[in-house]
Structure 1
Amino acid sequence: MAAQQDTYDSILEHIPKSIPFVYKNKVWRLLNSAGGHDKKIMRTIIDKLDIMHSYYAEVLTSQFILFPPKVPYNNQIISEFFTTLIPYLKRHYIDNAPAIQLGRISYLWVREQSTSDKPHYHCVLWLNEDKINSSYRILTLTKQLWCEQFGGTLSMPDNNYYISKRLQADSGVSLQEVICRLSYLAKNATKGCHSSKIKRYGASKLKNKSKSEQAPYKNNKKV
């Protein structure tokens, strides 16, 4: 465990103000936030990434921000969007082949509002990295759907995608980096500017693949 923790610390040297978060007997490093983190959101982020890794040895994490066309009194618009988005991506995604099967897709969104008169949503998609070279085409299709059919706007962060490997492949280094970056979404700040009856976050309901069905790693390579 000590050697593994040293590796975690080494990849976070560029993030000097990180804090520990213990979940399922593992210590993860999170970005420091003055208001702390929502533990339920943080656990959901870790669980959803872990579930995707039960299906795929390497997972692509893609981030974007959605701005609704008007003030939503609940999260119905975002729920309807993701219900529409997943089959839309599977139907329209093309990358060097006329019809790539994207496989399973997972997602998470968090609702935020600070000084603006309406909230925005930080969103994450998790996809099979073996089928996707970058998130550009995915985000282009996502933006197209959101803007044209839902009337909102979409922002793409400069560093909007990361790749992680299963824990056995690199001792958790890539997982730690992704979880640390995504911990920004779990910060408590900017999440209290709405009724307590409105959910702070939502996520897909994809469940774990059984361990006996998971593709193994040998010498850090997929087999």
Structure 2
Amino acid sequence: MKRLIQNPNLTLFYDERFLSNPVIKEHAPLCKEYLIAIKNVLDISLTEYNRVYVQRIDLRYPSHYAGHNCGDISRFFSSLKEKIKHDLRKKNKVDKFILRYVWVREQLSSENPHYHVALFLNKDVYFCLGDITKDSDNFSSMIKGAWASALGIEYFEVKSSVHFPSNSTYYIHKGKNTYQEEYQQCFYRLSYLAKIDTKIYSNGLKNFSTSRK
């Protein structure tokens, strides 16, 4: 097993499948430890919920923004959790709700880094972004609002900095005959987050993390 020179604790992964699941080999090498962590979050979500909604998003900094720091992503998740709690109270949904996630920090040639994020939710509570072109009361607007809150700026300033990639929504239904196909398609897409390229390992900052529960 080859190790990453910049961080010998990380193992380089070049195979086409990880634990029988296809991965994005064209972005190899991937990080084995990241793949393990991604799969763990997905599996924990499926242990708790029979129907899981996975949403990929990208968070970038506005072009005028200066002073990014490593706490921005933590503030984003804190704000999003509060917005979800408020939304559920407003809808009289008092069921226990856990937001799970995976995030990676990457930077190529831009002055600021960017984040690739995967959100894992109970599909019986949230199942889509809503109309991403409108500033309505939907899940996509909560995501934009949470990023604005994390950066301490106005909502309109981040509207073009929150990106929802094409084909970025996945549903996995435990117990259905399509389960394995749904699982593998989702994991394949999520394996992109495990790529080594464009992650910075020389500054001592965390560039990969997941929710803890």
TM range (shorter): 0.7 to 0.9
Which of 44, 60, 63 in structure 2 is aligned with 1:67? 60
Distance verdict in 2 for CA 1:179–1:187, change over 3 Å: same
1:133 aligned counterpart, secondary structure: coil
Which of 28, 33, 38 in structure 1 is aligned with 2:21? 28
Q: Which residue of 2 aligns with 1:172?
A: 180
Q: Which residue of 2 aligns with 1:211?
A: none
Amino acid in the other structure paired with 1:138? F
Q: Which residue of 1 aligns with 2:117?
A: 123
Question: Is contact 2:172-2:179 (8 Å) kept?
Answer: no
Q: Which residue of 2 aligns with 1:54?
A: 47
Question: Is contact 1:109-1:201 (8 Å) kept?
Answer: yes
**What pairs with 1:47-196 in structure 2 (closer than 5 Å)?**
47-68=40-61, 69-70=65-66, 72-73=68-69, 75-92=70-87, 98-101=91-94, 103-136=97-130, 137-148=138-149, 150=151, 151=153, 152=158, 153-166=161-174, 170=178, 172-192=180-200, 195-196=202-203
Distance 2:58 2:198 in 1: 14
Output one character per residue of 1:9-29: Cα deviation in whole Å (capped at 9) or x when no partner. Answer: xxxxxxxxx91113xxxx110
CA RMSD in angstroms comes to 2.4
Distance verdict in 2 for CA 1:171–1:160, change over 3 Å: closer
**What pairs with 1:3-14 in structure 2 (closer than 5 Å)?**
none
2:187 aligned counterpart, secondary structure: helix
Distance verdict in 2 for CA 1:169–1:104, change over 3 Å: farther
1:130 aligned counterpart, secondary structure: coil
Matched pairs, number: 181
Tell me the TM-score normalised to structure 1 length. 0.72
Distance verdict in 2 for CA 1:100–1:158, change over 3 Å: farther
Question: Is contact 2:72-2:150 (8 Å) kept?
Answer: no
Amino acid in the other structure paired with 1:187? K
Amino acid in the other structure paired with 2:165? P
